[in-house]
Copies of this chain bind each other. A is one copy, B any other.
Amino acid sequence: MLAGMDNLTITVGDVTRTLPTVRVGNLGRVPLVEFIGDSELTKAAAQAMLPLIPDGTELLLSVVTNALPLVHELSDRSGLPYVVARKKRRTYMQDPLIQQVPSMTLGVGETLWLDGPHAERLRGKQVAVVQDVVASGGTAQALSRLVDRAGGQVSGYLAAFKQGETELPLHYLQDLPRRL
């Protein structure tokens, strides 16, 4: 076990972090970005992402959990409101929109839940889809479908990091290798 070796260092604004790597199945070691628990990195990434927000955007849409501090901070700095889809049904939801995430593998896909009152906020709006890390783009596609179904229009796709290949027209800060 070579934990701690071959780590990756990233710099966002004036914040530098050495990313831990984790062994995932047989894929080798994968660098891990965690915004949760790191308000400095979160603020630096939100600040750097501000210019990536497409003109005309009226609202940000994201999904739990890892992107939450980032989208909160981006909302605060841009002045744009934000809405977040959940990954499970909450007891309090009213008429939620339910959207499958297309799976790249044959495994069980995730499901996104967007509470009805929050879906209402998307209607007629230009909505930017915001994530922390985009890999295949499947989650972004599911969020895009939620925007359509809620009566909004996707203004663009934003992420702090792209980790892998996606055909999504993604605005992002940095590439991350899928494995080291």
- Cross-chain contact of A64 among B65, B73, B81 (Cβ < 8 A): B65
CB pair B36–A92 under 8 Å, yes or no, is: no
A162 within 8 A of B: no
Write out the residue numbers on chain B whose beta carbons fall within 8 Å of the beta carbon of A177: none
A72 contacts partner chain B, Cβ-Cβ < 8 Å: yes
- Contact flags A55-81 to B (C-beta < 8 A → 1, else 0): 000000000110011001101100001
Cβ-defined contact, B73 with A24, below 8 A: no
Dominant secondary structure at the A interface: mixed
Residue interface mask A22-59, B partner, CB < 8 A = 1 = 10100000101000110100110000000000000000
B residues within 8 A CB of A20? 117
Contacts of A73 in B (CB 8 A): 72
| In the assembled complex, A83 has its CB within 8 A of some CB on chain B | yes
Q: Could you pull out 6 A-B pairs where Cβ atoms are within 8 angstroms? A: A20-B117, A30-B92, A39-B72, A39-B82, A69-B72, A72-B73
